[in-house]
């Protein structure tokens, strides 16, 4: 009896581990995912820091529609979505990217730094931090230290 319960518990834990591994493998971002996101962020940064309300009003729906489309396609491909702010250790990469982007917006808006240099740096930041986020998220999923995917 005791041996049977131990075997059942072991089988259940093995199934949980297999589920974590499967989820981690499904969350591999396609190579094309971060570059369009970086372009959207860089374009939005350039638009907002242009100080033109017309440019900002035109760019805003394009930015939000583009992000929505990327998230929708990602969910369709992987079947999962985990918020960058609710991703365990991977959330630190989201925080680092957010702080970097806010600093870039500030530098460009204050005209301390060229808008185009800030936009190019934002593009790079989104791609680098996005890859680091993905890698950390998958590792966290494998060990069971991340929030449940939606």
What are the pLDDT digits (tens) for 87-128? 788 889 999 999 999 999 999 988 888 899 999 999 999 999
Q: Is residue 149 part of a domain?
A: no
Contact status, residue 120 vs residue 43, Cβ threshold 8 Å? no
Nearest partner of 147 among 15, 12, 20, 11, judged by Cα = 20
**pTM, two decimal places:** 0.79
Q: Is residue 116 part of a domain?
A: yes
Q: Is residue 47 part of a domain?
A: yes
What are the pLDDT digits (tens) for 43-85? 999 999 998 999 999 999 999 999 999 999 999 988 878 888 8
Residue 148 reports pLDDT greater than 60: no
- Quote the DSSP letter at residue 52: -
Look at residue 83 and give its three-state secondary structure.
coil
Residue 150 reports pLDDT greater than 60: no
Determine the structural domain holding residue 22 and report its residue range.
2-143
Residue 22 reports pLDDT greater than 80: no
Q: Is residue 148 part of a domain?
A: no
pLDDT for position 12: 63
Which residue is listed with tokens 């969350």? Answer: 27
Q: Is residue 23 part of a domain?
A: yes
Number of domains within the chain: 1
Alpha helices in the chain (DSSP H): 2-26, 34-48, 53-78, 91-109, 115-143
């Amino acid at each position: 009896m005791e041996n049977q319960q131990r075997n059942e518990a072991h089988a259940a834990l093995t199934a949980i581990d297999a589920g974590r591994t499967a989820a981690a493998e499904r969350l591999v971002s396609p190579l094309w995912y971060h570059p369009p996101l970086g372009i959207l962020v860089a374009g939005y940064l350039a638009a907002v820091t242009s100080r033109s309300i017309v440019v900002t009003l035109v760019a805003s729906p394009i930015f939000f529609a583009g992000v929505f489309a990327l998230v929708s396609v990602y969910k369709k491909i992987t079947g999962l979505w985990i918020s960058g702010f609710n991703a365990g250790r991977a959330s630190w990469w989201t925080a680092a990217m957010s702080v970097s982007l806010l600093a870039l917006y500030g530098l460009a808006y204050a005209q301390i730094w060229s808008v185009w240099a800030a936009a190019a740096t934002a593009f790079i930041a989104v791609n680098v931090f996005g890859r680091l986020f993905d890698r950390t998220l998958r590792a966290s999923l494998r060990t069971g230290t991340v929030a449940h995917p939606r």
